[in-house]
Amino acid sequence: MHAMSAIYRREMRSYFVSPVAYIVLTVFFILSGFFFTQIVKYTGQANLGGLFGNLAIVLLFTIPFITMRLVAEEKRSGTIELLLTSPVKPFEIIMAKFLAAWSLIGLAIAGTLIYTLLLLLHSPMETGPLLMGYLGIILLSGALAALGVLASSLAESQIAAGIIGFGISFILMLLNWVGQSGQDAIHYVLREVSVIHHYGDFLEGIFDAKHLVFFLFWGVLCLSFAVKSLESRLLK
């Protein structure tokens, strides 16, 4: 745990000593602010469902940018040799890095609480859908961060990691669109494997345990493969 916390703290520090955290947070706040004002202006409703729907697309673009460096840069600079010759398990390295990326995204999402507060000050809101919306976006960001960590552990450069992470996320979104265009078994499967599809019910304020299980399964699967990829370096 001590080593995991050391890696986590270093990752968080690296985000904030480089422009990465500032760029991500700025872009996220500008876009979420834009979506918020537009949605409130045109729907006239105190509902953040529309905002969370659009933020999913923003996350799709920003998360690969946050995660691409995590493992790929350690391999490029040679610091992976320090990590893998330390008394730390590959699982702990991957988890610490994943949690750091997820925390940074969590910080960005936490910024949207300002909009919630603004709405609450001016009109009554149902807390159920609001909480579901936040739970959904936190789970979605976790799943995309886990995918990003996997991409970074597979790639040798951060650019390649970013492209792989974004490419797979984008394909998962496309699968949902294609899946929605029909009702047969193939379309059903396409919908079910897409992370975006499982996010949909949260936006409607519906809690279904199968979505929760899906996100957990997705996260565990990606992180397990990332751990395997790191372990395979030791066996090379």
Partner 1 sequence: MLHVENLRKSFGPVRALDGISFSVGKGEIVGFLGPNGAGKTTAMRIIAGFLSAGEGRVTLDGVDVADDPVAVKAKVGYLPEQPPLYPELRVREYLTFVAGLKGVPKKEVTDSVDEAMQSVKISDRADQIIRSLSKGYKQRVGLAGALVHRPPILILDEPTVGLDPNQIVEIRHLISDLKAADRTLIISTHILAEVEQTCERVIIINKGKIAAIDTKANLLAGAGDKAEITVEVAREGERAGGLLEGMGAAILGRDGNRLTVSAQPGQREEMAKRIIESGCGLVALETRRVALEDIFIKLTADASAGVN
- Residues found near partner 1 in the complex (CB under 8 A): 2-3, 5-7, 9-10, 13-14, 17-18, 77-89, 234-236
| Residue written as token pair 């397990």 | 224
Residue 167: CB minimum distance to partner 1, A: 28
Q: Which is nearer to partner 1, 5 or 38 (CB)?
A: 5
Sequence letter at residue 1 = M
Dihedral (CA of 138, 142, 144, 145) sign: positive
Other beta carbons within 10 Å of 177:
13
- Closest approach, Cβ 233 to partner 1, in A, equals 8
Of 89 and 187, nearer to partner 1 (C-beta) is 89
Q: In degrees rounded to 5, what are phi and psi of residue 38? A: -65, -45
Nearer to partner 1, 78 or 124 (CB): 78
Burial (0-12, 13-18, 19+ Cβ within 10 Å), 200:
middle
Q: Decide: 152 and 65 in contact? Cβ < 8 Å.
A: no
In 3D space, the residue among 66, 100, 82, 227 whose CA is nearest the CA of residue 153 turns out to be 227
Nearest distance in Å: CB 91, partner 1: 11
Shortest Å, Cβ 234 to partner 1: 6
Asked if 179 and 197 touch (Cβ cutoff 8 Å), the reply is yes
- How many residues are there in the chain? 236
| C-beta of 116 vs 153, nearer to partner 1 | 153
User: Least distance (Å) from partner 1 to the CB of residue 82?
Assistant: 4
Shortest Å distance, C-beta 86 to partner 1:
5
C-beta contacts of 18-21 below 8 A and 24+ residues apart: 20/65, 20/66, 20/69, 21/104
Structure tokens at 75: 């391999």
**Residue number, 5 or 37, with CB nearest to partner 1:** 5
Residue closer to partner 1 by CB (options 56, 83) is: 83
